[in-house]
Amino acid sequence: MKTAFILLIIICAGLQGMSQSNDELAGQARKAYTAGHYPEAIQLYEKILKSDNESAVLYYNLGNAYFRNNEIPSSILYYEKALKLEPNQEDIRHNLNVANSRITDKVEVVPELFYKRWWKAFMDTLSIDTIGIVLILLVTLALLSTSIYLFSKSLPVRKIAFWCGVFLYSFLLISFLAARQKEHHLKFHHEAIVFTPTVTVKSSPDVSSADLFVIHEGIKVVLLDQIGDWQEIRIANGSVGWLKNSDIRLI
């Protein structure tokens, strides 16, 4: 028991020391960025990332440093990572749009169906923490309305409780689906940024297959399938093809 307690103290002390170290590194990175020493700021922020310290703020600051250092694909990658964690942050979205204006490819976006746009807009307003709080609140209210319906002796009260329950359980289902989709979006990689200056997209996962179109570094692609060292991708205008894993970095 005594040994376990000592180990717990050592682990806690180590975590606290790591946090302090990351805070110090972040402070040094901010000073380097303010002084215009962007490569140094990048190196310091990357060092924080290597300690598995992930946050939208860290990705945003790293994106800014890469942008100031004129490394546009890397800046886009980290702005996208930041936006993935905090989709409703306008500062991140603005800087991402500025960075995207610097890349070669200006691809016309295929309009989405209205219900997909609405659902995406709804998802972008919610963080995973917000959805969790909403779920807890809805479960509590739904159970309360169920209890009132089951135990109340007043018919009007039971009717109100019944329809409130229908409403709450419907929203509970929608919130649960939103939470699952949000978790899947955060856990898995569905998009990537091209890092090779010029890429010829192929018709199949084979070097000798037909050339379809050419894209350039900085463009975002949606990942559809993977075979060996090849990824099937789709760009914003709907064009689909294959490129090598080495040409992209995952968001």
Give 7: exposed, middle or buried? Use CB within 10 Å, 0-12, 13-18, 19+: exposed
* pLDDT grade for 165, boundaries at 50, 70 and 90: very high
Dist CA 141 CA 134 (whole Å): 11
Tell me, yes or no, whether 92 and 9 share the same domain.
yes
Query: Do 194 and 219 touch, CB atoms closer than 8 A?
Result: yes
Q: Structural domain of residue 148, as residue ranges?
A: 114-187
* pLDDT grade for 222, boundaries at 50, 70 and 90: very high
* Boundary of a domain, candidates 152, 187, 222: 187
Query: What digits encode the pLDDT tens for the residues 93-145?
Result: 999 999 999 999 988 877 777 777 777 777 777 777 788 888 899 999 999 99
pLDDT at 9: 45
What residues contact residue 226 under an 8 Å CB cut-off, 6+ apart? 232, 245
Pick 145 or 174 by higher pLDDT. 145
The CB density around residue 20, as the number of other CB atoms within 10 Å, is: 10
Distance of CA 145 to the CA centre of its chain: 36
* Boundary of a domain, candidates 187, 205, 237: 187
pLDDT at 185: 67
Tell me, yes or no, whether 17 and 74 share the same domain.
yes
Is the per-residue pLDDT at 5 higher than 50?
Answer: no
Which amino acid would we find at residue 117? Answer: R
Q: What is the mean pLDDT of the chain?
A: 87
For the entire predicted model, the pTM comes to 0.72
